[in-house]
Amino acid sequence: MATQILLIEDDVQMRENVAELLTLQGFQVETATNGREGISQALVHSPDLILCDIMMPEVSGYQVLEVVRSNRLISKVPFIFLTAKSDPTDLRRGMELGADDYLTKPFTLQNLLNTIESQLK
């Protein structure tokens, strides 16, 4: 059975491109257009891994991570931030909240795949 990835990204182009690339690599990809939708999908589908942007309207990626880590059903799901926020304080905040990894945009497909693979082990 294919690894199920939840991609939470408000930028349409980025969301569609990453979802297509991961699907072509054999992953089953569910997408969410914002943090609120992402939280709902994570609770319903219990993915194998979550990829999440930080800067989103309504509910930020940081808030999504806090909800995920506080819910016993999905608290152990590997969580990777995909973000344009490259400041070390942003990275530190994400890691302190419990993110498993942090990729800054733009990233290569190989870098994304390597990060996903290392988190699924």
Express each pLDDT in 54-74 by its tens digit: 999 889 999 999 999 999 999
pLDDT digits (tens, 9 = 90+) for 10-67: 999 999 999 999 999 999 999 999 999 999 999 999 999 999 999 998 899 999 999 9
Q: First CA to last CA across the chain, in angstroms?
A: 16
Q: Which amino acid is at 54?
A: I
- Average pLDDT of the chain to the nearest whole number: 93
Please report the pLDDT score of residue 66 as a whole number. 96
Cα separation, 118 vs 103, whole angstroms? 13
Q: How many domains does the chain have?
A: 1
Render pLDDT for 90-109 as a digit per residue (tens, 0 to 9). 778 888 889 999 998 889 99
Cis, peptide link before residue 106, omega less than 30° from 0: yes
Give me the domain span that covers residue 8.
4-82+100-107
In-domain check, residue 31:
yes
Q: What is the DSSP string of 32-67?
A: ESSHHHHHHHHHHH--SEEEE-S--SSS-HHHHHHH
Q: Judge whether 77 lies within some domain.
A: yes
